[in-house]
Structure 1
């Protein structure tokens, strides 16, 4: 099993290499020195790999916890790599749902019941005063004051 000291001392080499931990978890060290936590497993008879994160941003203990959670999914018959892809896609979609996009949808729905002049004023106010400050923020990152 790896120790944190071994992880910290992992230096780049001529070729990329692996430092094995336990139960398929290893620290992958590239020839440029980038270090990432990876887990090798088998699902439906095929060998697969799952990347958990980079070291030192993700500690050895956290990587082991991630491996254990993924192993539990595997034991339950779920492909951990597929679930990781679904979570990543959901995060991407969530981050692309900005305040501006939601506000424009809201405006389009409301504009049907407003006078054209009022709808134009509301949109202009949003563009001048709101979108420049918080328009690009993900909607999930905005909380009430």
Structure 2
């Protein structure tokens, strides 16, 4: 990354120290004059500063003889180096015939898909259970379904996979133990471990170290 940043910096006309001084001055100017100000950095990259002191990175590029102002991000979430890297990335896409605005929309859709219902625990459970059904007796299938319906799904079934914590798994298992069902706790721990390994959710493996052999 250091080499990339070094090459990128050579393409731009201001250093970080100059940029920081300009930023302070232009924020002050924007607030006092109630006018939008801009700091140009080169390669079409500029920081647009509004009278409310918000600062937005904008990349102006030309495609099909048309100039387009493309919002990259906002300070301080995106700093100068990150904005330059984004310009470099989108310039490469543009050179390959890929529309930057379309690419951004695709990326946002991909991010949104990570939080839809198909990534809930209950869907991972269903995928895992369906993949195992053919090798399990109907009696054993029923045991799994009843255990998850009673102990697991009401607690974390609607949660996104990334939201589940080891503490929540511990709480589920502890609640089973407190009810006196020690053997059931071992079985549920084993099934949960298998399910999360099936979904490659490694962060939950450490708390699922109790297991028993399958019937």
- In which range does the TM-score fall when normalised by the shorter chain? 0.7 to 0.9
The match for 1:38 among 29, 35, 58 is: 58
Q: Distance in 2 between matches of 1:30 and 1:63?
A: 18
Q: Distance in 2 between matches of 1:55 and 1:9?
A: 15
Alpha-carbon contact 1:37-1:63 (below 8 Å) kept:
yes
The aligned counterpart of 2:171 is none
Instruction: Indicate the structure with greater strand content.
Output: 1
Task: Give unmatched runs, 5+ long, in structure 1.
Answer: none
The aligned counterpart of 1:20 is 40
Q: Distance in 2 between matches of 1:137 and 1:33?
A: 38
Deviation by residue 1:106-136 (Cα, 9 ceiling, x = unmatched): 377479875685424322222245x07x923
TM-score after normalising by structure 1: 0.75
In structure 2, do the counterparts of structure 1 residues 110 and 65 end up closer, same or farther at CA, with 3 Å as the change threshold?
closer
Q: Distance in 2 between matches of 1:44 and 1:105?
A: 49
Instruction: Indicate the structure with greater helix content.
Output: 2
Question: Greater Rg, structure 1 or structure 2?
Answer: 2
Instruction: Give RMSD over aligned pairs.
Output: 3.2
The aligned counterpart of 1:4 is 20
Alpha-carbon contact 2:26-2:38 (below 8 Å) kept:
no
Task: Give unmatched runs, 5+ long, in structure 2.
Answer: 1-12, 164-198, 207-215
Residues 1-145 of structure 1: pairs in structure 2 closer than 5 A: 1-2=13-14, 3-11=19-27, 12-13=30-31, 14-96=34-116, 97-103=118-124, 105-106=126-127, 109=130, 114=138, 118=143, 119-129=145-155, 131=156, 135-138=159-162, 142-144=201-203, 145=206
